[in-house]
Amino acid sequence: MARYVRLTDRAGYVAGPANIGVVEEDGDRVVLIDTGIDAATAKKAVRVLAEQGRKPVAVVSTHSHADHIGGNAFLAGSGVPVYAPALEAAFIENPLLEPLSLTGGASPWPTLRHKFLMARPSPVSGRLQPGTVFRDLEIIDLGGHSLGQIGVRGGGVLFAADSFLGPDVLQKHVIPYNVDIPAYLASLDRVGQTAASFVLPGHGPAYLDPAPAVRANRDTVLRQVEMVRELLGEGPLTISRLLAKFLARLQLNVTSDTYYLLYRTATLAYLSYLCHRGEASVRLADNELLFGLER
């Protein structure tokens, strides 16, 4: 059941599978940070806030993944403007881009066209730039999980989106979904350096001290990068063969094409990181794209 969790005298969140951040303004106005998986979730959040005598006047979308923007269309249709980073706004307005990015640009097949990958499209009224202030909210670059993800600091709370995962969520997903590892690692540093009374991730409870959770995320990703590097040491591998070995090493048995493609993207991010560091390279042989260690 949706409930409002107050963190400071001006901010809190509506708890759920994906948190909806709340920053209170003067009078009865609040700004929402993300909107949950669908219209029903957003409606519950609006109802919970109405019980507190509050109503949304703006939405800030931290990034374009469907579980964070699924309520945008409902709120925008109710006259609440949506704001987002420029790169993420393109996906919010054109949700087909999300599964399209997983299929390499090919038209996504039917089993990829569901609400966990494709929210309803919603208009974006304005673009937000990291390093700026919007309605007394500090917009912070927290890219890595997605290319343009932002965090929002307001009311004494850092709304950190999916820049890091709580221990339960990290254990559940095993391979954290990230697309840019250097940006992700830099974002973890920013989470630790941004002054706030509380830090709220996109999933799970708020933290007074996020350092242990941030450290667990960093250790997990760097350990998995090293695992990929070790697998490449067995000889040049296609991404399909590498992913199969990687999933087996982690004792994962994937039964969903959605999760397979998400894990594939995260593994490609590890490979890209190793290539940029000069530790891995890519070449073509017998009409196959092969990744291997740089000798």
The CB-based long-range contact list for 170-174 (8 Å cut-off, 24+ gap) reads 170/216, 170/217, 170/220, 174/250, 174/252
Q: How far is CA 227 from the centre of its chain?
A: 23
25-69 pLDDT, tens digit per residue, is: 999 999 999 999 999 999 999 999 999 999 999 999 999 999 999
pTM comes to 0.96
- Bridge pairing between strands 29-33 and 3-6: unpaired
Rounded Cα–Cα distance for residues 92 and 198 (Å): 28
Is 134 exposed, middle or buried (CB count within 10 Å of its CB: 0-12, 13-18, 19+)?
middle
Q: What is the mean pLDDT of residues 123-135?
A: 97
What's the sign of the alpha-carbon dihedral 37, 7, 171, 262?
A: positive
Strand order across the beta sheet in which 20-24 lies: 3-6, 11-15, 20-24, 29-33, 55-60, 82-85, 126-128
Instruction: Set out the domains of the chain in order of their start, with CATH numbers.
Output: 3-217 (3.60.15.10), 221-293 (1.10.10)
pLDDT tens digit sequence for 95-111: 999 999 999 999 999 99
Ranges assigned E (strand) in 147-196: 150-154, 157-161
Residue 295's pLDDT is 72
Q: Is the pLDDT of residue 77 over 80?
A: yes
For 97-120, the DSSP string reads HHHHHHTTTSPPPGGG-STTT-PP
Pairing assessment for the beta strands 82-85 and 126-128 based on DSSP bridges:
parallel
- Helical pair 211-232 and 239-249, crossing angle rounded to 10 deg: 130
Phi-psi region of 123 (alpha: psi -120 to 50; beta: other; left: phi over 0): beta
pLDDT-derived band at 274 (thresholds 50, 70, 90) equals: very high
Q: Evaluate whether 220 touches 33 at the Cβ level (below 8 Å).
A: no
The mean pLDDT value for 257-284 works out to: 98
Mean pLDDT over each residue of the chain, to the nearest integer: 97
pLDDT band, very low/low/confident/very high, at 255 (cuts 50, 70, 90): very high
Closest residue by Cα to residue 152 from 21, 54, 15: 21
- State the distance between the two ends of the chain, measured CA to CA, in whole angstroms: 55
For residue 1, what pLDDT is reported? 66
Q: What is the mean pLDDT of residues 110-131?
A: 97
**Cα-based torsion angle of the residue sequence 243, 228, 116, 57 in order, rounded to the nearest 10 degrees:** -160
Contact present, 35 and 1 (Cβ < 8 Å)? no
Q: Rounded to the nearest 5°, which phi and psi values hold at 233?
A: -65, -15
Q: What is the pLDDT of residues 156-206, one digit of tens each?
A: 999 999 999 999 999 999 999 999 999 999 999 999 999 999 999 999 999
d(CA 285, CA 287): 5
The pLDDT value recorded for residue 4 is 95
